[in-house]
Structure 1
């Protein structure tokens, strides 16, 4: 398994230059996934799982927020809790009335 090639592939998918990666982490995966690899470059966070043959099986690319400790999904969930609405109503564009 070549982590450099995996990182290069992730960067290509995210339209990021590999030289812009400022930090990374990897750990043992779970189940069929052998390795979890995470890269941070600029405002993007890229995560992937790599199997025993060295194939990337999952990739997730996200834009980081201005406040990295915040999550837009958490913000939406908190707003829904205040309004007493459900996620289904939010997705459908319905109000709580």
Structure 2
């Protein structure tokens, strides 16, 4: 996925899985938004900003309320429906090496 000039919204509204991991080629933290459809990403709850407690840096959730993960070593953004529970996180996006993301870059619709 490639945005245009200025701020962009990258919308994810399909069930994540191995066959549909999108690369965000020009994502810019603090300017662009990653928009998650709560009918698909159900653990995220109501519309609005992603709660900082639902976001974690790393490949594996360490808290039960972590549902969005960013692994800076691989650039993978994943969704974990049950947080630190038994169900594994599922990748849905990939950022180029060196690009970062934080909780405030996500919007739930």
Using the size of structure 2 for normalisation, the TM-score is 0.22
Point out the structure with the larger helix share: 1
Question: Which has the greater radius of gyration?
Answer: 1
Higher relative contact order (CA 8 A, sep 6+): 2
